[in-house]
């Protein structure tokens, strides 16, 4: 005689012992950051004012700054070097190393802030010693460039918060 077996109901599993869900959202953040960076390269980034003739303005496109910004070190302008912090920050984000991604992207954002010193510290304007370039205003390309790094920092904070909620004892 076959008697049907009744298996006991499974016990609920506590939240901290459940297997972690794959966090695919971080790949969307990486793609968004790269899209923002590439868009920043395709748009005007800075409007420079030529002094002493304040009537003349120069638009600097993002691709120009991306290619030649490294030369800023010759005039003590280090903002371009924030670009070197973006690939490691994206890598750390992809590897779920939230603290490392936050620290690296934060350092990149601090270095990017050096760009705004152009408003008070002039750049030499080519061969003409009497003329200088000042930042008149940052344009959409500059905003997108900073956003490409800020999105990584925000995602790292979100990853940290999610990890602490999933694993209460995690650091």
Helix (H) or strand (E) holding 28: helix 25-42
3-state helix, strand, coil in the chain (%, to 5): 60, 15, 25
Residue range 98-154, pLDDT digits in tens: 999 999 999 999 999 998 888 888 887 776 667 778 888 889 999 999 999 999 999
User: What's the token pair of residue 65?
Assistant: 């700054």
User: What residue segments make up the domains of the chain, in order of their start?
Assistant: 23-55+69-166
Non-local (6+) Cβ contacts of 117 within 8 A are: 77, 79
- From the list 71, 60, 38, the residue with the least C-alpha distance to 135 is 60
Higher local confidence (pLDDT), 18 or 26: 26
Q: Kindly report the average pLDDT of the chain as a whole number.
A: 85
């Amino acid at each position: 005689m076959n008697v049907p077996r009744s298996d006991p109901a499974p016990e609920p599993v506590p939240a901290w012992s459940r297997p972690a869900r794959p966090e695919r959202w971080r790949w969307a953040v990486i793609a968004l950051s790269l899209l923002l960076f590439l868009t920043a390269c395709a748009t005007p980034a800075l409007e420079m004012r030529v002094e002493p003739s304040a009537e003349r303005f120069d638009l600097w496109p993002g691709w120009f700054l991306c290619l030649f910004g490294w030369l800023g070190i010759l005039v003590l302008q280090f903002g371009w070097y924030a670009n070197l912090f973006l690939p490691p920050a994206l890598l750390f984000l992809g590897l779920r190393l939230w603290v490392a991604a936050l620290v690296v992207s934060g350092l990149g954002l601090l270095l990017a802030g050096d760009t705004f010193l152009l408003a008070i510290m002039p750049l030499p304007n080519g061969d003409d010693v009497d003329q200088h370039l000042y930042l008149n205003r940052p344009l959409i390309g500059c905003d997108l460039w900073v956003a490409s790094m800020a999105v990584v920092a925000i995602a790292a904070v979100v990853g940290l918060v999610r990890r602490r909620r999933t694993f209460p004892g995690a650091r």
